[in-house]
Amino acid sequence: MAEININIAGDFIDSFIYSGVLFTVDTNGILCSYSWRNLVDSYFRLYTNHSKFHNKILDCREGNNSKIEQNITIVFEKKFLEKNQKGTCCDLDVWNTDLDVKDNILYISSERGLVSLPFLEEWDNGKVMKFNQLIPLWKEAKVFGLSTGSWGRTILAAGDNGALEIMNNGVEQLQKIGFHKNKEKIIDSNICLDCEWSSNSTLAILDGLNSKAMYMFDSIDSDSRFKKNNNSNQNKITEDDIKKIASILNKETAKDISKNEIQHSWFEGSRLYAVDSNNKSFYFKSGSWVEAKGWELNESDAVLKLKNITAGKFIETESDELFRVANGKKELLSEDFTSWRVFPRSKSYQDRIHVVKDEYLQVKIFNI
């Protein structure tokens, strides 16, 4: 299975890409933004080899899918990054444990809790040239992982403190309906080390030490039409709409839908899948679990982490191996990585994975 590898030189610990902006955090706790388009455009102005993949490297939207026939490696050296950054940097003064971005707000978790970095006004056609001041959202304990959802809601994997839901009262949708909530809500009191919310923020996966839990949340209207720049739907918002949403947010419940002996779970779009100790696959539909077919792994696979995007399933094993499973084939991607990330909520980056290695960040791009 052929792929494009873009090796970005640096001592990184994490990365994220959102709306054309590449965010990185290095081993000194320095957060930087880069214009992904400017990096790619600048590279192909210097080197014309593989230029037919120019648009594909930018994103995976329709029309950008030139087929990769053989492995390709592209290198962005440090001097090249500095010269063509079109971005900015700031010192976090801490190593982050996770990153997420929602509605032009960067969320950063660490041993100090959770902070946000809004860039709604600063985003300019895939560039963020200025960082605002970090805003503390929760600082009661270390946060190991986070997942942002609609209406300013964020799930925190807070270790011994369990899984919590907090609200970022600063998001424009909450301000538009005049709602705020300052107290966090405990979703699950068991140890929680990672979490993931479904694309529509109605289902969540919580990862513990040796167990997984899955929760179903109250259904709520999309917050997209409550954004300031969405003028087309402003006249459709009624006082009853606002009261209904505020009531759900205020009384929101989370129901434990965990299935016994679940070994792995993941989202495909908004659908929740799980595999039990007998290697049987299930998906959650209309309030119950339904047996499914097509589980690609075998009983000997000791899965530590599993994520799904259009390019396939990406699986980290307990033996520190990273695999891609696509079209019935299993491919070893790396045995020497620090961390990795895919972007299941993004329509533009369904064809790639970010893999952090000792001396560079590797962006792997696949055919889809």
Which has the minimum average pLDDT: 2-6, 192-196, 294-298? 294-298
Rounded distance between C-alpha atoms, residue 161 and residue 186, angstroms: 9
Q: Where are the domains of the chain?
A: 3-366
- Residue 34 CB contacts under 8 Å (≥ 6 apart), including other chains: 21, 22, 23, 24, 81, 85, 86, 87
Contacting residues for 219 by C-beta, under 8 A, at least 6 apart: 202
With bands split at pLDDT 50, 70 and 90, how would you rate the model's confidence at 84? very high
| pLDDT band, residue 9 (cuts 50/70/90) | very high
Give the HSE-up count for residue 304: Cα atoms under 13 Å, Cβ half-sphere.
Answer: 11
Report the alpha-carbon distance of residue 277 to residue 264 in Å, rounded: 9
pLDDT tens for residues 10-20? 999 999 999 99
State mean pLDDT over 1-15. 96
Compute the residue count for the chain. Answer: 368
Query: Could you tell me the pLDDT band of residue 355, with boundaries at 50, 70 and 90?
Result: very high
The CA dihedral of 171, 175, 181, 182, to the nearest 10 degrees, is: 60
Sign of the C-alpha dihedral, residues 353, 269, 201, 158? negative
Classified as helix, coil or strand, 163 is strand
Question: Is the pLDDT at 160 greater than 90, yes or no?
Answer: yes
Name the band, by pLDDT with cuts 50, 70 and 90, for residue 335: very high
Query: 258: pLDDT confidence band, cut at 50, 70 and 90?
Result: very high
| 3-state SS assignment for residue 69 | coil
* pLDDT, tens digit (0-9, with 9 covering 90-100), for 21-37: 999 999 999 999 999 99
Contacts of 332 (CB under 8 A, 6+ apart): 321, 322, 323
| pLDDT for the residue numbered 4 | 97
Confidence of residue 236 (pLDDT cuts 50, 70, 90): confident
Beta carbons of 250 and 243 less than 8 angstroms apart: no
- For residues 78 and 10, is the Cβ–Cβ distance under 8 A? yes
Tell me the average pLDDT of the chain.
92
Task: Please give the average per-residue pLDDT across 55-60, as a whole number.
Answer: 94
In the prediction, which pLDDT does 116 show? 97
What DSSP letter does each residue of 175-244 carry, written as one string?
A: HHHT----S-EEEE-S-B-EEEE-TTSSEEEEE-SS-EEEEEE-----SGGGSTT-GGGGGG--HHHHHH
Cα–Cα distance between 214 and 275 in angstroms, integer?
A: 13
Q: What is the pTM of this model?
A: 0.94
Tokens coding 103: 């509605």
Whether pLDDT at 299 is above 60:
no
> What is the reported pLDDT for 303?
85
Structure confidence by residue, pLDDT tens digits, 181-219: 988 999 999 999 999 999 889 999 999 988 899 999 999
% of the chain exceeding 90 in pLDDT:
79
**Are the beta carbons of 331 and 323 closer than 8 angstroms?**
yes
Higher pLDDT, 205 or 233: 205
- Which among 21, 81, 45, 4 has a CA at the least distance from the CA of 348? 21
Query: Looking at residue 300, what is its pLDDT?
Result: 55
228 pLDDT above the threshold of 80: no
- pLDDT for position 293: 80
Query: What percent of the chain lies above the pLDDT cut of 70?
Result: 96
Q: What is the 3-state secondary structure (H, E, C) of 120-159?
A: CCCECCCCECCCCCCEEEECCCCCCEEEECCCCEEEEECE
pLDDT: which is higher, 109 or 200: 109
Domain 3-366: CATH class, spelled out:
mainly beta
